[in-house]
């Protein structure tokens, strides 16, 4: 079967099944990076053709992570051809790109965040950053909050996210949740005006505030998403249960938590060793 038929079928299904933002991210991966090589070819590819495709992707001036994303996109097309269109493929699969090392996050402790917060003047921006640091929300989840999401008793409902100019359902089913905020943070949200709490804020303006505030406070540069990482790491250091943290931040399970943040738990390792030292002193010979 020609590749063009498989692509058309896949994109039709993706458009019908996924959020608009997901489809908008998938379509360019196919159009820009896969279609130029695959158009006119028959599927499945031969091993030689697949190796050539991998080589062309590898030569592109894009990040290692995005190269892997493009290869996964190709694999999804192959799976669609097999599962939805009945195309058999019994040959040995060419290995894809390795997962790049995880990014190193900037973690701000409570004192550091306080120094950054002192640099903020606008109450809406302050409430936004506080929500990420003390609530663990994703940026899009915070941007999508509306007044009806304030439930009283310091609780908020997270039912949607804002990305690429549109509001959609949360990233995953676990992302839809109700969490409780510190009283001061909830009060900041109540004092905001308008139906959409963070109307008027943009990623670029928030990033400028974050970078400028960090520089003035003498802090290591951080990304907006690092405030969420800081929240999660702070709770892990405090000994909160992984299940409770996973629910609070909208993770499907604790695997994501452990896989992502294990490298930041050196303090936990020290605590374990101190515990073992005490046991050896008490019961050792």
pTM of the full predicted structure?
A: 0.71
Radius of gyration of the chain (CA): 23
Ranges under pLDDT 70 in the chain: 89-92, 101-104, 262-271, 284-285
CB 242 within 8 A of CB 267: no
Which of these CATH numbers, 1.10.8.640, 3.20.20.70, 1.10.443.10, 1.10.10.10, describes 110-268? 1.10.443.10
For 13-43, what is each residue's pLDDT tens digit?
A: 999 988 888 888 899 999 999 999 999 999 8
For 52-62, what is each residue's pLDDT tens digit?
A: 999 999 999 99
Task: Report the pLDDT value the prediction gives residue 257, as an integer from 0 to 100.
Answer: 77
What is the C-alpha separation between 224 and 162, in angstroms, rounded?
A: 15
The domain locations on the chain are 3-83, 110-268
Q: Please, what is the angle between helix 64-83 and helix 47-59, to 10°?
A: 150
> Could you count the other beta carbons within 10 Å of the beta carbon of residue 71?
20
Task: Report the pLDDT value the prediction gives residue 90, as an integer from 0 to 100.
Answer: 53
Q: Which residues of 74-102 are buried (b: 16+ CB within 10 A; e: fewer)?
A: beebbebbeeeeeeeeeeeeeeebeeeee
Which two three-digit tokens encode residue 25? Answer: 């991210």
Taking CB atoms within 8 Å and a gap of at least 24, the contacts of 37-43 are 38/3, 38/7, 39/3, 39/4, 40/2, 40/3, 40/4, 41/2, 41/3, 42/1, 42/2, 42/3, 43/1, 43/2, 43/3, 43/6, 43/78, 43/81, 43/87
């Amino acid at each position: 079967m020609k590749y063009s038929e498989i692509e058309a079928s896949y994109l039709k299904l993706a458009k019908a099944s996924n959020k608009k933002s997901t489809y908008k991210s998938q379509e360019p991966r196919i159009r820009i990076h896969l279609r130029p090589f695959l158009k006119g070819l028959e599927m499945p590819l031969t091993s030689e053709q697949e190796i050539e495709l991998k080589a062309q992707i590898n030569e592109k001036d894009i990040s290692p992570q995005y190269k892997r994303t493009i290869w996964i996109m190709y694999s999804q097309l192959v799976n669609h051809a097999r599962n939805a269109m009945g195309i058999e493929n019994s040959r040995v699969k060419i290995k894809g790109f390795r997962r790049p090392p995880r990014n190193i996050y900037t973690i701000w402790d409570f004192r550091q965040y306080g120094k950054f917060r002192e640099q903020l003047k606008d109450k809406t921006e302050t409430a936004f950053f506080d929500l990420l640091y003390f609530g663990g929300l994703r940026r899009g989840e915070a941007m999508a909050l509306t007044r009806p999401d304030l439930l009283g008793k310091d609780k908020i409902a997270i039912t949607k996210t804002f990305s690429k100019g549109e509001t959609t359902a949360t990233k995953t089913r676990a992302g839809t949740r109700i969490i409780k905020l510190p009283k001061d943070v909830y009060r900041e949200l109540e004092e905001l005006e308008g139906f959409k709490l963070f109307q008027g804020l943009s990623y670029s303006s928030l990033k400028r505030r974050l970078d400028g505030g960090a520089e003035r406070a003498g802090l290591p540069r951080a990304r907006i998403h690092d405030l969420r990482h800081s929240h999660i790491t702070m709770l892990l250091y405090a000994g909160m249960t992984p299940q409770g943290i996973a629910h609070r931040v909208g993770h499907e399970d604790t695997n994501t938590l452990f896989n992502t943040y294990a490298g930041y738990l050196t303090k936990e390792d020290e605590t374990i060793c101190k515990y073992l030292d005490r046991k050896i002193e008490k019961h050792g010979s």
